[in-house]
Copies of this chain bind each other. A is one copy, B any other.
Amino acid sequence: MQDASGLTDRLVALLGRSNVLLPGDDQEPYTVDWRGRYRGEALAVVRPGSTPEVAKVVRLSAEAGVAIVPQGGNTGLCGAAVPSGGRPSVIVRLDRMRRIREVSPLANTITVEAGCVLADIQSAAQAADRLFPLSLGAEGSCRIGGNIGTNAGGTAVLRYGPTRELVLGIEAVLPDGRVFNGLRALRKDNTGYDLKQLFIGAEGTLGIVTAAVLKLFARPRTSALALAMLESVDQAIALMGLLRGEVGDRIASLEIMSRGQIEAIAATCPDTAIPFPLDAPWYLIVELTDTLAGIDLRAPLEAALGLALERELITDAIVAASEAQAKAIWRVRHSVSEGNKRSGFVVSHDSAVPLDRQAAFVTGVERRILAAVPHARVVMHGHIGDGNIHVVALVDPARVTDPAEAERVVRLINEAVDDETRAQNGAISAEHGIGQSNLGRLARVTDPLELDLMRAIKGVLDPAGLMNPGKVLAQR
């Protein structure tokens, strides 16, 4: 990769040699995504230490006509954080900017730099007797700038909303190097267009988030957990309705797994005990929490499940008698990815549909996948309170040793899932985003008018098309 413009020299002069990785250096942790699916090339990987430095890097790169790729923890699933298309790029890592600038338990806010690791933000909130609810598998290494850029979801969306709803203010460097200073800790602000929304979930294509003011919440102090066995997703939805009436807004988690999903774990993860009989088609983890200590949540949970049994909404249920039992149940849920990886060639999906369309969706999607790829095994798990059921097709690796055949199988499964998602008025990505992986799928199912609007927004903020090109929208 050539640097005809002398850009790298200017970047080294700006940041110091130790904060610039050049092509001869070990760039691989940053140019390749963590699953090894996307391999980009970089003129330089830079580590600015402040917002003005980020701005200068962007300005220098823009002047040289070089693409800019913002990168947080590089834990994304869709290749949004590494360069694409073989064009010369500068990767901007935010990892030196990890200061927690302020925690205000009175205002219930925390102000953080984009490079803060999510788990560090959770800890800082807890130290102030508050909760920062965003929680997901990668929390030990993902960074809040990436969480904001991808509008991360995770396990607390049902109660607290996705990242978008947790952000009060944003500071971002625009594609021309100017700094948008929207770092305001305001619960209400009706002074014109809400510009910060542009940067949330845009996957770094409209600018680089450099800092944010986030919401904090009262900490949950009590919890109760049950596992319900069900005949169908319809029953799970009805149970959700009943629980809403009986326990109000104490519902913290509603995580569903198909029997096939648990069987895949049971067969491949010897360390994960399955502490319940495997004889129901569906399993639902119900967790209630309360922000008050000393509240009895078990009694209302047991009462609600008793009512559900009476109304034949569930076939059986276990209420965890101890913290250990609750953990053992969660462990099954947390073994899902590992179990699937060990069960075959994985084609996994991240659809969202309206809550009341989930039963029709799971039936329809399985039918479509099996019609297209009869030898696939379809297992499912997901956040049923969010309408977000992960559909996973497991394929015998022996059948996809030929790359062309593997590609064909993936395409057929993707089309089956996307067609059913569209038929249910859903979205093909609930949490993971578009990145490089899903450009073609997005273009296939999205109203051209929406793509037009996205391109119009992109065009006006980044007319040269240098900010994380080839992500979200295909390059033309």
Contacts and interface: CB of A to CB of B under 8 A. Distances in A.
Interface stretch (A29-37, A101-109, A259-267, A271-279): A101-109
Contacts of A104: 354-356
Interface string A145-178: 0000011010001100110110000000000001
A201 B195 contact: no
A442 B161 contact: no
Contact of A192 (B158, B198, B300, B434): B434
B248 A290 contact: yes
Interface stretch (A8-16, A18-26, A452-460): A452-460
Contacts of A192: 434, 442, 446, 450-451, 454, 472-473
Nearest to A247: B292
A450 B190 contact: no
Given A186-B427, A194-B200, A197-B194, A291 B457 contact: no
Contacts of A368: none
Interface residues of A, number: 92
Q: How many copies of this chain does one complex carry?
A: 2
Nearest to A432: B190
Contacts of A187: 157-158, 352, 355, 385-388
Contacts of A336: none
Given A292-B248, A354-B107, A449-B178, A193 B184 contact: no
A431 interface: yes
Given A157-B187, A192-B450, A428-B191, A354 B109 contact: yes
Contacts of A446: 191-192
Interface stretch (A90-98, A235-243, A397-405): A235-243
A195 B453 contact: yes
Contacts of A165: 161, 165
Most chain B CB within 10 A, of A188, A245, A355, is at: A188
A446 B151 CA distance: 27
A189 interface: yes
A157 B201 contact: no
A449 B189 contact: no
Contact of A249 (B179, B195, B200, B218): B218
30 contacts: A106-B237, A106-B240, A106-B241, A106-B355, A107-B355, A108-B244, A153-B190, A164-B194, A184-B354, A184-B427, A186-B352, A188-B387, A188-B431, A190-B201, A190-B430, A192-B442, A192-B451, A193-B453, A193-B472, A194-B197, A194-B201, A197-B197, A217-B249, A218-B244, A218-B249, A250-B291, A292-B300, A453-B461, A456-B461, A460-B460
Interface of A: 104-109, 129, 150-151, 153, 157-158, 161-162, 164-165, 178-182, 184-195, 197-198, 200-202, 206, 217-218, 221, 237-238, 240-241, 244-245, 247-250, 290-292, 300, 352-356, 383, 385-388, 425-434, 438, 442, 446-447, 449-451, 453-454, 456-457, 459-461, 472-473
Given A184-B426, A192-B442, A457-B460, 15 more contacts: A106-B240, A107-B355, A107-B356, A161-B165, A179-B449, A185-B354, A185-B425, A186-B430, A187-B355, A187-B388, A188-B387, A189-B352, A193-B472, A194-B201, A457-B457
